[in-house]
Amino acid sequence: MESHNGEANDLPPPPPLIAGVEPLKADETKMPLKPRSLVQRNGFGRKGQPIKLITNHFKVSLVNAEEFFYHYYVNLKYEDDTPVDRKGSGRKVIEKLQQTYAAELANKDFAYDGEKSLFTIGALPQVKNEFTVVVEDFSTGKTPANGSPGNDSPPGSDRKRVRRPYNTKTYKVELSFAAKIPMSAISQALRGQESEHTQEAIRVIDIILRQHSAKQGCLLVRQSFFHNNPSNFVDLGGGVVGCRGFHSSFRATQSGLSLNIDVSTTMIVKPGPVIDFLLDNQKVGDPSMIDWAKAKRALKNLRIKISPANQEQKIVGLSERTCREQLFTLKHKNGNNGDSEEITVYDYFVKQRGIVLQYSGDLPCINVGKLKRPTYFPIEVLQRSNYDAEPMLKACGITIARNFTEVDGRVLQPPKLKAGNGEDIFTRNGRWNFNNKRLIRACSVEKWAVVNFSARCNVRDLVRDLIKCGGMKGIMVDAPFAVFDENPSMRRSPAIRRVEDMFEQVKTKLPGAPKFLLCVLAERKNSDIYGPWKKKCLAEFGIVTQCVAPTRVNDQYLTNVLLKINAKLGGMNSLLQIETSPAIPLVSKVPTIILGMDVSHGSPGHSDVPSIAAVVSSREWPLISKYRASVRTQSPKMEMIDSLFKPREAEDDGLIRECLIDFYTSSGKRKPDQVIIFRDGVSESQFNQVLNIELQQIIEACKFLDEKWNPKFTLIIAQKNHHTKFFIPGKPDNVPPGTVVDNKGTTRPTHYHILHDEIGFSPDDLQELVHSLSYVYQRSTTAISVVAPICYAHLAAAQVGQFIKFDEMSETSSSHGGHTSAGSVPVQELPRLHEKVRSSMFFC
């Protein structure tokens, strides 16, 4: 059986090399003379079958366009002039201000964003307004300096504080005039036009909506609101509750202004004792079985209530010692010369506070202070916090339609796919299969082995079935050299040590380095082994690897695994017919590289975890189905990629150079004359930065290789995380794959914005390219919701980001070496991929 089945001969060869073409390095690069501006739309598409749709947008109308919104800057201080830095306190203060000083404020309604901005319709009586506001605070508050054992508190002051039924807090509020925003900007948006004030005006009415939801007692999460109705909550297990609510925002579309409303879901930690949450989260029955390293990550930044004082605080970490062992210095209030003694947290709460602790003595303490000045509490005294027609819109003269908006769409024809032996693949509703078909370019799996970290998986049966299924798809799978089962004594060891021990077995017993390793994991998700294993294989040894955690092995499961293995080892599962012709509009005529760019950020609560930037690039032109990836770290939460062009002395260490060199070597030594960039994860407010910062870096990277090289660029933003949805009137069916709505706003599920187009795509050609790129995803047999290069960039960032457990080292990240960029903090660099796998689709 031949590993490629002869299909590779059917693929078009790359164009011949132009004599004398070699990449050169430029001495210097030049910045653009003036900032680039967003390209204007050059028309609408015409291809496709017309379809009538409705969308979850409600048209907005405006009666009074002559008024103005007045913007005031809000400055909140405590009575001693220290700034208020506690989130969530602003709304209560501003609400009390409005009640107390209604006459002085001309009975104006406020739209307050909860932070620094307040808006009114018409001006306040004074340009600068200063007030003193007294608010009763029943449960929360800043912990006084002497308020907890970690801050050397005398017991007397603690008892006095606990007996008070509530505290009153005095605030100083200053409202300073900032700007004047004409409501006529909304009127222009209703006509589908934008002015310099449009986004500001839309922001104001968005804030009015959020404030309306807050008044109804809703939990606000960005643009979404969640009401405390029991029917809205679903127990998801692991100590987490899902809460259903709504997202709402005003959107400027090509046909005018509309209110977009969508179903939204958030997750909150189930209210109750912290120890109960940890037991539920880790699925253990006894506190002695808790993994405190995992607990530390799970608890960080959660808000808790401390009983019996009923104070609310935020968790910053855990103590290194148990409650019985953790000492602090207790100062005696009436002692001479400031007498003090060393006492454990346990003894303080039991003997000084008279609190009975049943199980906290042998558990770590919760730190709600600071890392360098901790405030410790026994875990037993802590509870998770329980989160339980707008007049300003009427005053604006704004009314909102009650019915969905009707739109016209078009359904594009699905692209034709090719399998092995020249067979056609027929798609149905964006899906297809390889039943009785071979892959178009099948690899061979040889010199391989299996490593088994699972005690439950029958590895021998898995290997047998994999070899059989591979043969049916045209993949020649040899028998593995060996199956390495983990030593049972290692299973409770740290993940890195388990991986090291397994690799020692592999190196000792195999005759040479394997080309492929199949890794069987015990857990399907969140396995501690996954990151260290991938790092060992991809960064240190250059071995292609596939991780599996099978729960039920069938033909579909095995096929999906083989699709990934084939792509990683250099094969191709299917190709577009227009790739084999080649007949892709504009792309097949001249060498064209396609880039997908994305940045992934640390999970909420880990604001100091470095972000991961990834760029994937097409290779082997004229194909558009094969890619490779480059990945770097950058400053936490920074969305703009700063490592596209990184000159270091005479070399460029940036992401784009790696992509360009790989394209050159894999495409018959041809440099791309056209560069198509798909960028994910940026909002409208960041479009100009992508256009003038990121695109400029890419241009400089090209010039660094050859100063005379002037490729054409097309830059496209893809937005997946929007809330526009389309429906077929009167039918429960989903909108067909390939549906395009380009004349009244957005497409679904991905909204594409063309910021820059030097290549000169027509709307139909660009829509056909985007549609085709959703059918080249090698991991599955379905059309995906976004172009494959962006999906691959997300996968690459996620996988390489697992090489280092940043969340575990985030508290000490400042001590780690790394690189910096202007205005950013040092971040630890990721290990580079081994040269053997650098150009592979390791991320599949």
Residues 6 or more apart in contact with residue 464 via CB below 8 angstroms: none
Q: Is the pLDDT of residue 309 over 50?
A: yes
Q: For 573-609, write each residue's pLDDT tens digit.
A: 999 999 988 888 899 999 999 999 999 987 765 667 8
Which amino acid appears at position 611 of this protein?
S
**Identity of the highest mean pLDDT range in 71-75, 163-167, 180-184, 520-524:** 71-75
**Do 406 and 183 meet the contact criterion of CB atoms below 8 Å apart?**
no
Assess whether pLDDT exceeds 90 at residue 241: no
Q: Is the pLDDT of residue 482 over 90?
A: yes
Confidence check: pLDDT of 225 > 50: no
Specify the pLDDT at position 817: 45
pLDDT, position 465? 95
| Of 333 and 777, the one with more pLDDT | 777
- The pLDDT assigned to 506 comes to 94
| CA–CA distance, 433 with 504 (Å, rounded to integer) | 40
Q: 790 pLDDT exceeds 50?
A: yes
Task: Name the more confident of 838 and 730.
Answer: 838
Short-list 715, 823, 696, CA closest to 29: 696
Task: Report the side by side order of strands in the sheet with 49-55.
Answer: 726-727, 49-55, 405-411, 739-740
Are 121 and 105 spatial neighbours (Cβ–Cβ below 8 Å)? no
State the pLDDT at residue 370.
Answer: 81
E strand or H helix at 561, and its extent? helix 555-568
In sequence order, the 6+-apart residues with CB closer than 8 A to the CB of 485 are 452, 459
**Does the pLDDT at position 84 exceed 70?**
yes
Among 158-172, 210-224, 609-623, 793-807, top mean pLDDT goes to 609-623
Structure tokens given for 432: 């297809």
Mean pLDDT of 823-839: 82
Q: Tell me how far apart the alpha carbons of residues 672 and 649 are, in angstroms, rounded to a whole number.
A: 25
Return d(Cα 559, Cα 609) in angstroms, integer.
Answer: 36
Here the tokens at position 465 are 């079935």
**Sequence letter at residue 783:** A
Please compute the mean of the pLDDT values over residues 222-250 and round it to a whole number: 55
- pLDDT for 167 equals 65
> What pLDDT does 38 receive?
75
For the chain, what percent of residues have pLDDT higher than 70? 74
SS3 49: strand
Per-residue pLDDT band at 797 (split at 50, 70, 90):
very high
User: Residue 478: what pLDDT?
Assistant: 96
Of residues 721 and 293, the one with the higher pLDDT is: 293
pLDDT at residue 601, rounded to an integer: 86
SS3 state of residue 441: strand
> What does the DSSP 8-state code read for residue 705?
H
Q: What is the mean pLDDT of residues 288-292?
A: 84
Section 615-631 average pLDDT: 97
pLDDT in tens, 737-788: 888 887 654 333 467 889 999 999 998 999 999 999 999 999 999 999 899 9
Tokens of 726: 């389309």
Question: Helix or strand or coil: residue 533?
Answer: helix
- Angle, to 10 degrees, between the axis of helix 695-705 and the axis of helix 655-666? 50
Q: How far apart are CA 476 and CA 478, in angstroms?
A: 6
The predicted-structure confidence for 513-547, as pLDDT tens digits, reads as follows 999 999 999 877 778 899 999 999 999 999 999 99
Q: What is the C-alpha end-to-end distance of the chain, expressed in Å?
A: 26
Give the relative orientation of helices 274-282 and 292-299 as an angle to the nearest 10 degrees: 120
- For the segment 45-73, the average pLDDT, to the nearest whole number, is 77
- Model confidence at 228: pLDDT above 80: no
SS3 content of the chain, % helix, strand, coil (to 5): 25, 25, 45
**Residue tagged 């697992």 (tokens):** 802
pLDDT on residue 829: 86
Per DSSP, 350 falls in state I
Q: Which phi and psi (to 5°) does residue 700 adopt?
A: -65, -35
The better pLDDT of the pair 662, 386 is held by 662
From CA 407, how far away is CA 744, in angstroms rounded?
A: 7
Residue 142 predicted with pLDDT over 50: no
Quote the pLDDT of residue 165: 42
Beta-carbon neighbour count of residue 22 at 10 Å?
Answer: 9
Question: Of all helices (H) and strands (E), which one includes residue 545?
Answer: strand 544-548
The secondary structure of residue 83, as a DSSP letter, is: B
Calculate the alpha carbon distances from 565 to 260, 314, 570, 738, 775 in Å: 42, 45, 9, 28, 19
Q: Which two tokens stand for residue 648?
A: 């270091």
The residue-averaged pLDDT of 185-205 equals: 70
Map tokens 């590779």 to a residue: 8
In the predicted model, what is the mean pLDDT of residues 619-643?
94
The residue ranges of DSSP E strands in 692-827, in sequence order, are 712-719, 726-727, 739-740, 751-757
User: The tokens 């031949």 sit on which residue?
Assistant: 2
User: What is the average per-residue pLDDT within 89-96?
Assistant: 84
Average pLDDT over the chain, rounded to whole? 79
pLDDT value of residue 7? 40
Q: Does the pLDDT of residue 232 top 90, yes or no?
A: no
- List the domains of the chain with CATH numbers: 7-39+574-798 (3.30.420.10), 62-270+388-399 (no CATH), 272-384 (2.170.260.10), 443-568 (3.40.50.2300)
Q: Tokens 């007949």 identify what position?
A: 583
Say if residue 512's pLDDT is above 70. yes
Q: What distance in Å separates the CA atoms of residue 808 and residue 801, rounded to the nearest whole number?
A: 13
Is the predicted pLDDT of residue 152 greater than 60, yes or no? no
- Which pLDDT tens digit goes with each residue over 335-383? 555 677 888 989 888 888 888 888 788 888 888 888 788 888 888 777 6
* Alpha carbons 514 and 511: distance in angstroms, whole number: 9
Over residues 426-473, the pLDDT tens digits come to: 998 899 988 889 999 999 999 999 999 998 889 999 999 999 999 999
CB contact at 8 A, 661 and 621? no
Q: Pick the most confident of 41-45, 533-537, 805-809.
A: 533-537
More confident residue, 843 or 811: 843
Residue 213 has pLDDT above 60, yes or no: no
**Cα–Cα distance measured from residue 143 to residue 332, given in angstroms and rounded to the nearest whole number:** 19
Mean of the pLDDT values across residues 633-657?
90
92: its two tokens: 């209560």
Confidence band of 11 (pLDDT split at 50, 70, 90): very low
Burial readout 78-117 (b: 16 or more C-beta within 10 A, e: otherwise): eeeeeebeeeebbbbbbbbbbeeeeeebeebbbbbbbeeb
* Backbone phi and psi for residue 622, each to the nearest 5 degrees, phi listed first: -90, 20
Q: pLDDT at position 69, please? A: 84
149-153, 223-227, 506-510: least confident range: 149-153
As a whole number of angstroms, the distance between CA 112 and CA 76 comes to: 13
